[in-house]
Amino acid sequence: MSILIIAELRDGELRNATLPAITAGKQLAELAGTDCDVLALGKGAQGVADQLKGLGAANVLWSEADAVADYTAEGYAQAVAGLVGDKGYTAVLTPATTTGKDFMPRLAGLLDAGMVSDVIGFEKGDDGIVYIRPMYAGNALARVVVDTPVHVLTVRETAFDAAEAGGGASAVAEAAVAVDPASLNAKFVEYQLTASERPELTEAKVVVSVGRGVKDAEGLKVVEELVDLLGAAMGASRAVVDEGMVPNDLQVGQTGKIVAPDLYIACGISGAIQHVAGMKDAKVIVAINKDEEAPIFEVADYGLVDDLFKAVPKLIEKVKAVRA
């Protein structure tokens, strides 16, 4: 087995989600008795390659070729598929972010490869590497063996520590990627990033999430003051997203983002398993809910049974007082 990790870039910068994916790649390499390489594609990839040196990959490859300068699932999948063919990689992995979920299935299609998504661990089995992934909102773990020559994987970033410097020397080289733009049936037009002063949900150390308990836009504002006071990212339950109170990229859970911040504060969220699946790995969970029977209290480290419209303003006052 030889392993290729695809780094994730945004606006020419390395995204933190890449670092746990490198750890996952190293763990897989160790189990398979091989090395791993890492590939950075897109504008700024050469600079990012420099940052990726010494994290444990034997080779750091990069390409800023026109065809991959801006992300498209079609372009990335074709570029990586070509490289896998040229270099003989037998496992390709990337973080299970929105981008990873977007282009890796297409890559698996191009390579006619078996794919396992959301991998949280590896084992050695009688039939080769066994991939462990959660099912049913994390209530069961599946152990999956892939029987195609190439394995395509997305790995859950919250399940692995971030790779750190000191992982040994890496050779850096430009990768020759071959993409036929005419065959892609898609082209990059523009990238519209939601403008926000707040940190990105999956990268924030503190996340304050709102549930249906906030009721409406006015209620949302009460919690937003706490979000900004703490310099936190804002998250939400699907109920709040479905009601159109916040955009869907703030949804935490099984069908939203998986987060593992140092602190997660859930305001007016019941704690349905589909929500808990997205935040249960947070280091400290605080829940504010007026129903003492709410299931969120089963996963909370600190629970406050109270009306959030009374509790959140008090919390804001306390934080301000401590800071003063």
Ligand X SMILES: Cc1cc2nc3c(=O)[nH]c(=O)nc-3n(C[C@H](O)[C@H](O)[C@H](O)COP(=O)(O)OP(=O)(O)OC[C@H]3O[C@@H](n4cnc5c(N)ncnc54)[C@H](O)[C@@H]3O)c2cc1C
Phi, psi of 71 (to 5 degrees): -70, 125
| Residue span binding ligand X (CB under 6 A) among the ranges 37-45, 103-111, 188-196, 268-276 | 268-276
Instruction: Identify which of residues 70 and 281 has a Cβ nearer to ligand X in the complex.
Output: 281
Check binding of 294 to ligand X (CB under 6 A): yes
Q: Judged by CB under 6 A, which of 84, 230, 269, 285 binds ligand X?
A: 269
How far is the CA of 79 from the CAs of 166, 184, 240, in angstroms? 29, 11, 38
Check binding of 289 to ligand X (CB under 6 A): yes
Q: Judged by CB under 6 A, which of 13, 86, 301, 307 binds ligand X?
A: 307
Instruction: Identify which of residues 109 and 247 has a Cβ nearer to ligand X in the complex.
Output: 247
Check binding of 14 to ligand X (CB under 6 A): no
Considering only residues 160 to 219 of the shown chain, the ones binding ligand X according to CB under 6 A are: 211-213
**CA–CA dist 261, 34 (Å, integer):** 32
**C-alpha 146 chain-centroid distance:** 23
Least distance from C-beta 193 to ligand X, angstroms? 22
Phi, psi of 16 (to 5 degrees): -55, -25
Instruction: Identify which of residues 188 and 309 has a Cβ nearer to ligand X in the complex.
Output: 309
Instruction: Identify which of residues 56 and 278 has a Cβ nearer to ligand X in the complex.
Output: 278
Instruction: Identify which of residues 133 and 275 has a Cβ nearer to ligand X in the complex.
Output: 275
Least distance from C-beta 225 to ligand X, angstroms? 15
| Residue span binding ligand X (CB under 6 A) among the ranges 61-69, 115-123, 226-234, 246-254 | 246-254
Check binding of 262 to ligand X (CB under 6 A): no
How far is the CA of 5 from the CAs of 47, 59, 90, 252, 293, in angstroms? 17, 10, 11, 26, 44
Provide the β-strand partners of residue 208. Answer: 234, 265
Q: Judged by CB under 6 A, which of 112, 291, 298, 301 binds ligand X?
A: 291
**CA–CA dist 299, 127 (Å, integer):** 36
Instruction: Give the start-end residues of each E strand in 126-259.
Output: 128-135, 140-144, 151-155, 171-174, 206-210, 233-236
Dihedral angle over CA of 140, 208, 248, 244, nearest 10: 120
**CA–CA dist 119, 27 (Å, integer):** 12
Residues that bind ligand X (CB under 6 A): 211-213, 237-240, 251-256, 268-270, 272, 274-275, 278, 288-291, 294, 307-309
